[in-house]
């Protein structure tokens, strides 16, 4: 979906900045088919509110456990804090572009991910990267691991050594970057 052109609809929806950031993670997780509970997603949202999560990475794996596609969403917490300090505590979006409160950049990456998932019969698995603040504090890291039921993961093995990627900053949420990687 393009942001260009004018809309005859002048209505906007306004959200607290952090809640709109969290909404993007929630929508991404649900729309790519991550198998998890609503309770766990709420734990994840609480961890985002605490500033503990840097990124969520969602993979499509084949039967040999090789990744074919990855979609990720990353928060730059320094940029988030800058926006808040500038008084940008709320964000207004055009509901004709942000259908179901989802950034068009994320929506397009979900579409590519889901096409690959269906085409190649991939299994969806996900990972969470924590912020450097969490990794630097052993007690906090242990607490977050416990609360989110995390464990260290093995490096992802890709189906191909040739990997294409694309990243997009979210126009209305400058602290968010959506990325997709896929093997050729």
CATH of the domain at 98: 3.30.900
Per-residue pLDDT of 154-173, as tens digits, reads 999 999 999 999 999 999 99
Q: How many domains does the chain contain in total? A: 1
Q: Is pLDDT above 50 for 1? A: no
What's the distance, Cα to Cα, between the start and end of the chain in Å?
Answer: 25
Closest C-alpha among 54, 58, 90 to residue 75:
54
| pLDDT score of 10 | 72
Q: What proportion of the chain, given as a percentage, has pLDDT over 70?
A: 95
Q: Which residues are 179's β-sheet partners?
A: 72, 167
Per-residue pLDDT of 82-125, as tens digits, reads 999 999 999 999 999 999 999 999 999 999 999 999 999 999 99
For residue 127 the two structure tokens come to 């990972």
| pLDDT score of 53 | 98
Closest C-alpha among 174, 22, 170 to residue 84:
174
CB 74 within 8 A of CB 55: yes
For residue 11 the two structure tokens come to 């209505």
pLDDT category, 4, cuts 50, 70, 90? very low
Per-residue pLDDT of 19-76, as tens digits, reads 999 999 999 999 999 999 999 999 999 999 999 999 999 999 999 999 999 999 999 9
Residue 23 is assigned to a structural domain of this protein: yes
Residue 87 is assigned to a structural domain of this protein: yes
Cα angle, residue 115 at apex, residues 109 and 119 outer, rounded to 5°: 150
Give Rg (Cα) of the chain: 17
Q: Which residues are 169's β-sheet partners?
A: 177
Question: What average pLDDT does the chain have?
Answer: 94
Residue 36 is assigned to a structural domain of this protein: yes
Residue 7 is assigned to a structural domain of this protein: no
CB 110 within 8 A of CB 31: yes
Q: Is pLDDT above 60 for 9? A: no
Residue 150 is assigned to a structural domain of this protein: yes
pLDDT category, 184, cuts 50, 70, 90? confident
Domain that residue 58 falls in: 13-183
Residue 3 is assigned to a structural domain of this protein: no
Residue 6 is assigned to a structural domain of this protein: no
Residue 132 is assigned to a structural domain of this protein: yes
């Amino acid at each position: 979906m393009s942001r260009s052109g004018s809309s005859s609809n002048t209505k906007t929806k306004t959200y607290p900045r952090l809640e709109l950031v969290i909404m993007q993670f929630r929508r991404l997780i649900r729309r790519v088919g991550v198998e998890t509970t609503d309770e766990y997603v709420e734990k994840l949202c609480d961890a985002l509110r605490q500033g503990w999560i840097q990124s969520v990475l969602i993979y499509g794996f084949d039967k040999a456990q090789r990744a074919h596609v990855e979609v990720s969403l990353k928060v730059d917490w320094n940029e988030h804090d800058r926006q808040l300090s500038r008084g940008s505590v709320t964000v207004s979006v055009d509901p004709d572009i942000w259908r179901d409160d989802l950034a068009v950049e994320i929506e397009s990456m979900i579409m590519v991910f889901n096409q690959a998932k269906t085409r190649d019969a991939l299994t969806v698995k996900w990972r969470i990267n924590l912020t450097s603040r969490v990794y630097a504090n052993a007690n906090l890291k242990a607490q977050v691991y416990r609360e989110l039921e995390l464990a260290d993961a093995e490096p992802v093995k890709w189906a191909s050594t040739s990997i294409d990627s694309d990243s997009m900053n979210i126009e209305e949420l400058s602290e968010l970057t959506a990325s997709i990687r896929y093997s050729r």
